[in-house]
Amino acid sequence: MFLIFADQDYKFPTPEIFAALLVLTILLTGSLNSYAIISPSGLAIAYSYAQLVAPITVLVFMIIIVKNVSIGFGGDLEKGTIQTYLGYPLSRNRILMARLLSSVGIALLLLVLIQFTVLFMLAPAFFISNLSMFSLVYLGVIGNALLITSVMLLIVSLTRQGTASVMTGLLLYLLFGFLPGMLTSYFSFNDSYAGLVAALIFNPVGSFQPYYWTANNTRHVLLWAPSFWNVVSVIATNYALTAIVTGFCFLYFSRRLEV
């Protein structure tokens, strides 16, 4: 079942885009290497490196999984191909799992392979000794993409329309991206960072940096400087939320979806 889905999701030019990204990232990071920020802790350095190599690849990763979920899975439901798949002697959970592994799993694997290859090439010794830090950073980097994907998956299952899920995905992507910045201003007036932390749960990559409030255009007031465990908590909560939404999706698909 997984092979059938993968066969549809990774037709030309998806694999070629990832291959091009690998080359592009290596070239870009080669020229930007001298700008790498050196910070005191392993996590901060890992985050700095990730900021150099991640943005384009993560954006493309996001586009590809949005395409796979809305056009791939949404198309299966909209066009009725799902009836053919549900006619196979497999449990519905296995079918959805195969769909997820194909839509998100392969793209995720390629993303991580590209990123870690480039990071290894940039700083082999540091990369190897801080692999856990890099892993944590990348969990944060892709956290919002996976949460958005799970919401899209639920919307596709409920509405059986890929278009609705694409619109929702794009809106959420923008919202989750801007929310922490907007809330920094809002919560600084209330002298509270709880709301900011809550917003970061939806975009956990933001939890790697400190937040300042600029008063009267001159005075920089530190609003929140996350500790290592703050970062871990935000990321863990983000993934718990993703797991809950995905769980709902599996429940609906296996027990309620009639086609």
Partner 1 sequence: MGLIGPNGAGKTTTIKLLLGLLRPNSGQVLVFGENPWNNPRVLKRIGVVQEKPKFPMNVPTLHYLSLVAGMYGRSLETASSALRDMGLKDAFQTPIGNLSAGMIQRFALAHALIHDPEIVIADEPTSNLDPQARAEILDLIIRTNKERGTTFLISSHLLSELSRVCETVSIIYRGKSVATGSLDELYQKFRTDVVRVNTNKPAELAEKVKKLPYVVEVEVTGDNISIRTESRRGNVLYQDVLTLAGQIDALLNGIESKGASLEELFRKITSTQRY
Using CB under 8 A as the criterion, which residues of the chain lie in contact with partner 1 when the complex forms?
Answer: 1, 3-4, 7-8, 11, 79-81, 83-84, 86-92, 258-259
Nearest approach in angstroms of CB 257 to partner 1 is: 9
Nearest approach in angstroms of CB 102 to partner 1 is: 12
Nearest approach in angstroms of CB 204 to partner 1 is: 35
Nearest CB to partner 1, comparing residues 1 and 36 = 1
Nearest CB to partner 1, comparing residues 39 and 84 = 84
Nearest approach in angstroms of CB 7 to partner 1 is: 6
Nearest CB to partner 1, comparing residues 1 and 164 = 1
Q: Which backbone phi and psi does 90 adopt, to 5 degrees?
A: -125, 150
Question: What letter would DSSP give residue 201?
Answer: T
Q: What's the CA gap between 189 and 182, in Å, rounded?
A: 12
List, in sequence order, every residue forming a beta bridge with 219; answer none if it has no partner.
215
Nearest CB to partner 1, comparing residues 219 and 256 = 256
Q: Which residue has the tokens 């975009």?
A: 203
Nearest CB to partner 1, comparing residues 56 and 259 = 259
Nearest CB to partner 1, comparing residues 47 and 85 = 85
Nearest approach in angstroms of CB 169 to partner 1 is: 22
Q: What's the CA gap between 14 and 20, in Å, rounded?
A: 10
What b-and-e string marks burial along 223-248, b requiring 16 or more CB atoms within 10 Å of the CB? bbebeeebbbbbbebbbebbeebbeb
| Helix or strand holding residue 194 (H, E) | helix 194-200
- Strands 211-215 and 219-224 come out as antiparallel
Q: What's the CA gap between 37 and 44, in Å, rounded?
A: 9
- In SS3 terms, 214-235 reads as EECCCEEEEEECCCHHHHHHHH
Nearest approach in angstroms of CB 1 to partner 1 is: 6
List, in sequence order, every residue forming a beta bridge with 211; answer none if it has no partner.
224
